[in-house]
Homo-oligomer: A and B are copies of this chain.
Amino acid sequence: MRLDRYLVPMPDSYHMTPDEFRQRGAEMVEWIARYMERVESYPVMSTVKPGEVRSQLAPHPPLHGEAWDDVMSDVDDVIMAGITHWQSPGFYAFFNGNSSGPSILGEMLAAGLGTQGMSWVTSPAATELETLMMDWMAEMLDLPPKFSSHSTGGGVIQDTASTSTLVATLLAREKATDYASNRSGLEPGLAAYTSAQAHSSVEKAIRLAGIGSDNLRLVAVDDTFAMRPADLAQAMEADVSAGLTPALVVATVGTTSTLGMDPIRQIGEVAATHNAWLHVDAAWAGTAAICPEFRHLHDGLELANSYLFNPHKWMFTNVDASAFYVADRAGLKRMMSVSAEYLRSAESESGEVIDYRDWQISLGRRFRALKLWFVIRHYGIEGIQHHVRRHVALAQDLAERVRRHPDLELAAPADLNLVCFRHVDGDAASEAILERVNSSGTAYLTHTKLDDRYVVRVNVGQTHTEQRHIDQLWELITG
């Protein structure tokens, strides 16, 4: 009989008991606290060679469970050498991916609860706290009212800016085709626009959405690396003349290479003449709008159809948490919602609740609102303002030193927290600076190219970066 096949005698549970978790959890907290204390003592960039980590680990999965201490020994002896320390105050590379105590606690609680908030019913608190956090952040950044859940729009946590931008691109595609792409398939003829300094995620989204990178126009920038609205208008008109439909314009508030600031208002006015979707990518710089003195960067944002910024960059919240806002939540739901009997609930049918599964590509989702709630309540608005201002002040200090140094020159405006510079002797000399700094182990810088010249980028935005780190960095740069 079928049943008997399975009812063989079995050993006890292999699960970790709550008491074992108590012990190992306490040890892990101590491990993390010690890591926080000592993070500066590690070389910021890992120095392992390709394959070195893997070669020291067991090539095959274990048949029998292993002792926890052996696992943690491998963390200390093998994994740690292969970590590039994003939480080191010497991390000035790319844009930061900052963590903080309250954020880690939020991740712990989310993992401990283990909820999956795809629908309101599958954990009402996960949905309602997320809606509240998105509204809180809209208020903190003084976003236009239409992005609030109290209006026609609303926000949702996506994993990263790339995903937020893909969702915006898909929305633009559907709007341009009256939702026919979803249903009957995409027809050729759409075009999209962004600046030559936009993030690579825009091209990726255009490709994945089926619009095709040949139909993405990279509009020229001015000498502050901001998109030229006149060039945008020209490109859109040329496409219309050629029979194409301008579907999407992506403006950037804080480009990756230089923190170039596209003029949203002028761009939005151009986009509107062609009824194109305006998406604003403020992945890094959006957080600055928590300070009134930086809100001018968002001027014209009421013209946008969608907007993103990443709390997981500058708002001391662990990766991943990209805050994505739309002005028309009904359109998002129309595009994303697929009915399935096994997902139906009375609450969903009522229309009274939000099911975030219809606001994103994924169905399942973690309870990421907790870490945002913990961070905002721990710091308060003034705490986040303080540290954002502090980073900007430190960057301004560094920029001023560059300006005064005879051998260095700024390669882009340094109005916020990113300093781009080069050596007056040319690329080799600039590259030598980066090599020297990075090989010191004390700091990690990355580069970009501007007007085909090699440029060193210093993004001053790590949670714990202070004056003494900038002083140390300056010695390495000029040493």
Q: In the assembled complex, which residues on chain B have CB atoms less than 8 Å from the CB atom of A140?
A: 61
Q: When each residue 68-79 of chain A gets 1 if its CB lies under 8 Å from chain B and 0 otherwise, what string results?
A: 101100010011
| Residue in B closest to A116 when the chains form the complex, CB atoms | B97
Q: In the assembled complex, which residues on chain B have CB atoms less than 8 Å from the CB atom of A336?
A: 204
Q: When each residue 406-431 of chain A gets 1 if its CB lies under 8 Å from chain B and 0 otherwise, what string results?
A: 00000000000000000000000000
Is there contact, CB below 8 Å, between B29 and A33? Answer: no
Is there contact, CB below 8 Å, between A320 and B364? Answer: yes
Is there contact, CB below 8 Å, between B15 and A81? Answer: no
Answer yes or no: A300 CB below 8 A from chain B CBs. no
Determine chain A's interface SS by DSSP, over half rule: helix
A165 smallest CB distance to B (angstroms)? 10
Binds B, one of A124-132, A232-240, A267-275, A469-477: A124-132
Answer yes or no: A170 CB below 8 A from chain B CBs. yes
Is there contact, CB below 8 Å, between B11 and A386? Answer: yes
- In chain A, residues 301-338, which have Cβ atoms closer than 8 Å to a Cβ of chain B? 312, 316, 318-320, 335-336, 338
Q: In the assembled complex, which residues on chain B have CB atoms less than 8 Å from the CB atom of A53?
A: 124-125, 128-129
A301 smallest CB distance to B (angstroms)? 19
Q: In the assembled complex, which residues on chain B have CB atoms less than 8 Å from the CB atom of A79?
A: 125, 129
Q: When each residue 327-365 of chain A gets 1 if its CB lies under 8 Å from chain B and 0 otherwise, what string results?
A: 000000001101111110001001011000000011111
Which of these, B20, B110, B350, B378, contacts A65 with CB under 8 Å? B378
Known: A65-B378, A100-B16, A188-B187. A123 touches B84 (CB 8 A): yes
- In chain A, residues 92-127, which have Cβ atoms closer than 8 Å to a Cβ of chain B? 93-94, 97-105, 107-116, 120-126
Is there contact, CB below 8 Å, between A181 and B54? Answer: no
Q: In the assembled complex, which residues on chain B have CB atoms less than 8 Å from the CB atom of A2?
A: 396
Which of these, B11, B318, B457, contacts A111 with CB under 8 Å? B318
| Complex-state Cα separation, A188 to B126, whole angstroms | 40
Is there contact, CB below 8 Å, between A381 and B63? Answer: yes
Answer yes or no: A66 CB below 8 A from chain B CBs. yes
Is there contact, CB below 8 Å, between A22 and B14? Answer: no
Answer yes or no: A400 CB below 8 A from chain B CBs. yes
Answer yes or no: A200 CB below 8 A from chain B CBs. yes
Which of these, B17, B83, B257, B316, contacts A342 with CB under 8 Å? B257
Is there contact, CB below 8 Å, between B207 and A108? Answer: no
| Contacts A/B (CB < 8 Å), 11 sampled | A25-B29, A25-B104, A46-B123, A50-B120, A83-B113, A85-B115, A170-B208, A182-B208, A201-B363, A257-B341, A342-B447
Besides the known contacts A65-B383, A86-B122, A342-B448, 10 further A-B residue pairs in the complex with CB atoms under 8 A apart: A21-B104, A22-B33, A28-B108, A50-B350, A54-B131, A84-B121, A94-B122, A182-B212, A186-B188, A256-B342
